[in-house]
């Protein structure tokens, strides 16, 4: 059981999922930074939204942390680099609230264009101000979208149905992709010079902080209106207030502020400014999705599984061609480490056949995860490369389009040992198919022993007798053919035996002392 600290309101379903997975869910809302430092020791995961700052100091205090979960998108409140250095996985819920955020940006756009909050306040205060709150139409207007990612793209779709003409600034998007969305890509200054409305959908990074400042606002089309439902600080609030006062900018709508909570601002005094208190993701639907998605990811992270939305794993995405090999790769790493007498200094990983045409970086991480699984402390896709570096392990990867018998083959060589595996059948079942150049055919199991013996009659029986006398039942067994997978002859035979529980040390010693047995290696899941 792991302890998961939750520092901000999370949808009940997410909390239930983590409790049902057997974890202790420790809800600690509204903590001060000092209180947070006292709560993280002993926690294995922490889940936050945007208000909790996960600094290097917090990560240091949480020496047992395996994962930090962000129930939402923006990661600017998490020191991801510090987490990576400490081997802590950072995971978010990147698609949970994009619709809500896009709808909120559009709501702000309309509210600003038609002065809806201002007119509402006047009317409920008893003032019927029809002339004062005349607005502008969106139809036919140019919308500049800054940041054409998931949310930016949804805003573009909505703008098209309003008859707007969208253009975008995003140096990381190809012109072809933008064209498919019906958007023209423009340099930032040009976008600001032609847009009637601008909406910002960027992450907050050192590069984007203050991006929309005095200089750019000074060059903007007179009468431009600005919406920011991304992150406070991307727009310089003082410069925006000044540009509105001077008349260069006709108005703005903001959901986010440089410092939050924000209850006073020069912008609040301006009648053409519409504001909301960071409500972009505040819908039932988005919160349910964020809660469930982050709970799912944290449960996977604590199990040591591959976590699809981990942002600091040194490989991106997993294709359908690679996914079935993840377990196999980890198991082969575990077996390779178990049969190597000493910690290997060099690990050769070969991807052959169809696998050679895939992005195999995540499989290399899975192999490393398996190699280090028997050591101390949790091993994840994030800290496995760091462990390899610390231990001075040289990793040599190779790709080859050809294989002898299999569509794909993953082979690991370390300390003069070799293991290979593939996946077979309609369910892509992992199979260990070669061990030290003996062909075998056995699914990897949590507890296995590998026995190398003289190739003569009676030895298999002796192994059975030792195990039987000790009351150890075998759940699966494969005998290695004496002809190696690549055709050469070998003077020894090999057995791979699987068990439901670890084989006691005494039984391993007895096997090692049995005539005809040359080596016995135990491969046990941690
Ligand atoms: P995304 O990663 O899908 O898209 C971000 C886009 O910005 C990408 O296309 C990227 O290429 C572009 N980009 C990055 N750096 C850039 C730069 N320097 N100049 C120009 N373009 C740059 O992210 P998303 O899901 O669309 O979310 C965007 C942001 O919205 C999040 O980072 C988050 O901070 C914010 N957000 C706010 C709320 C809210 O409640 N107000 C809700 C959800 C998300
Ligand atoms: C986000 O980045 O997902 C948003 O700011 C929403 C939030 O966490 O409240």
- Condensed to tens digits (0 to 9), the pLDDT of residues 451-464 reads 999 888 889 999 99
Q: Is the pLDDT of residue 314 over 80?
A: no
Sorted by where each starts, the structural domains of the chain and their CATH numbers stand as 3-96+285-303 (3.40.50.720), 98-275 (3.40.50.720), 317-435 (3.30.1330.90), 446-526 (3.30.70.260)
Q: Which ligand 1 atom is the nearest neighbour of the CA of 231? A: 34
Ligand 2 center–CA 231 separation, angstroms: 9
Strand partners, 70: 48, 92
Percent of the chain clearing pLDDT 90 (strictly above): 81
The pLDDT confidence band at residue 382, using thresholds 50, 70 and 90, is confident
Q: Which ligand 2 atom is the nearest neighbour of the CA of 256? A: 5
Nearest CA to ligand 1 atom 14: 202
Question: Which of 201, 209, 227 has most ligand 1 atoms within 8 Å of its beta carbon, as the pocket-test mutant?
Answer: 201
Element (H, E) at 353: strand 346-353
Looking at 70, 278, 334, 452, which residue is catalytic?
278
Q: Which of 512, 2, 80 is nearest to 295 (CA)?
A: 2
Render pLDDT for 78-96 as a digit per residue (tens, 0 to 9).
999 999 888 899 999 999 9
The residues near 47 (Cβ < 8 Å, ≥ 6 apart) are 4, 5, 6, 7, 8, 10, 14, 68, 69, 70, 71, 294, 295, 298
Q: What is the pTM assigned to this prediction?
A: 0.80
Ligand 1 center–CA 445 separation, angstroms: 43
CA distance 437 to 439: 6
Say whether 102 sits in a helix, a strand or coil: helix
Element (H, E) at 119: helix 116-124
Q: Which ligand 1 atom is the nearest neighbour of the CA of 279? A: 40
Question: Which of 9, 14, 49, 234 has most ligand 2 atoms within 8 Å of its beta carbon, as the pocket-test mutant?
Answer: 49
Render pLDDT for 131-160 as a digit per residue (tens, 0 to 9).
999 999 999 999 999 999 999 999 999 999
Render pLDDT for 407-454 as a digit per residue (tens, 0 to 9).
999 999 998 899 999 999 988 999 999 998 789 999 999 899 999 998
Our answer to whether residue 231 is catalytic in this structure is: yes
Beta-strand (E) ranges in 87-195? 89-92, 142-146, 165-169, 184-185
């Amino acid at each position: 059981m792991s302890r998961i600290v939750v520092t901000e309101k999370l949808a009940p379903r997410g909390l239930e999922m983590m409790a049902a997975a057997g974890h202790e869910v420790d809800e600690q809302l509204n903590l001060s930074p000092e209180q947070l430092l006292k709560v993280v020791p002993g926690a294995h995961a922490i889940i936050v939204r945007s208000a909790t700052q996960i600094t290097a100091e917090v990560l240091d205090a949480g020496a047992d942390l395996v994962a930090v979960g962000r129930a939402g998108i923006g990661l600017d409140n998490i020191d991801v680099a510090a987490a990576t250095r400490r081997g802590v996985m950072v995971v978010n819920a990147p698609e949970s609230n994009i619709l809500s955020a896009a709808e909120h940006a559009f709501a702000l756009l309309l509210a600003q264009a038609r002065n809806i909050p201002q007119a509402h306040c006047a009317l409920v205060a008893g003032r019927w101000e029809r002339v004062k709150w005349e607005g502008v139409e969106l139809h036919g207007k140019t919308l500049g979208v800054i940041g054409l990612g998931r949310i930016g793209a949804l805003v573009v779709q909505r703008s098209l149905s309003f008859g707007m003409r969208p253009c975008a600034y995003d140096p990381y998007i190809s012109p072809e992709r933008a064209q498919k969305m019906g958007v023209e890509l423009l340099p930032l200054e040009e976008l600001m010079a032609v847009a009637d409305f601008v909406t910002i959908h960027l992450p907050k990074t050192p590069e984007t902080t203050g991006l929309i400042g005095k200089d750019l606002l000074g060059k903007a089309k007179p009468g431009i209106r600005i919406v920011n439902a991304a992150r406070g600080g991307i727009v310089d609030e003082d410069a925006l207030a000044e540009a509105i006062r001077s008349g260069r900018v006709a108005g703005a709508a903001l959901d986010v502020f440089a410092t939050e909570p924000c209850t006073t601002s020069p912008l609040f005094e301006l009648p053409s400014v519409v504001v909301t208190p960071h409500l972009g993701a505040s819908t039932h639907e988005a919160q349910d999705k964020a809660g469930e998605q982050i709970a799912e990811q944290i449960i996977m992270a604590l199990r040591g599984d591959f976590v699809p939305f981990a942002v600091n794993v040194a490989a991106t995405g997993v294709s359908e061609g690679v996914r079935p090999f993840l377990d196999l790769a980890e198991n082969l790493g575990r077996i390779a480490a178990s049969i190597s007498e000493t910690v290997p200094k060099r690990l050769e990983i070969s991807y052959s056949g169809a696998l050679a045409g895939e992005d195999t970086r995540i499989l290399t991480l899975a192999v490393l995860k398996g190699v280090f699984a028997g050591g101390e402390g949790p091993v994840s896709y994030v800290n496995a490369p760091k462990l390899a570096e610390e231990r001075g392990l040289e990793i040599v990867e190779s790709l080859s389009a050809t294989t002898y018998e299999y569509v794909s083959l993953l082979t690991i060589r370390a300390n003069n040992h070799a293991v290979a595996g593939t996946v077979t059948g309609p369910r892509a079942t992992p199979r260990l198919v070669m061990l030290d150049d003996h062909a075998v055919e056995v699914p990897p199991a949590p507890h296995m022993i590998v026995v190398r013996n003289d190739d003569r009659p009676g030895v298999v029986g002796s192994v059975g007798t030792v195990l039987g006398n000790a009351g150890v039942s075998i759940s699966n067994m494969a005998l290695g053919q004496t002809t190696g997978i690549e055709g050469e002859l070998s003077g020894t035979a090999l057995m791979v035996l699987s068990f439901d529980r670890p084989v006691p040390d005494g039984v391993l010693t007895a096997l090692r002392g049995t005539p005809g047995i040359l080596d016995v290696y135990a491969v046990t899941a941690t």
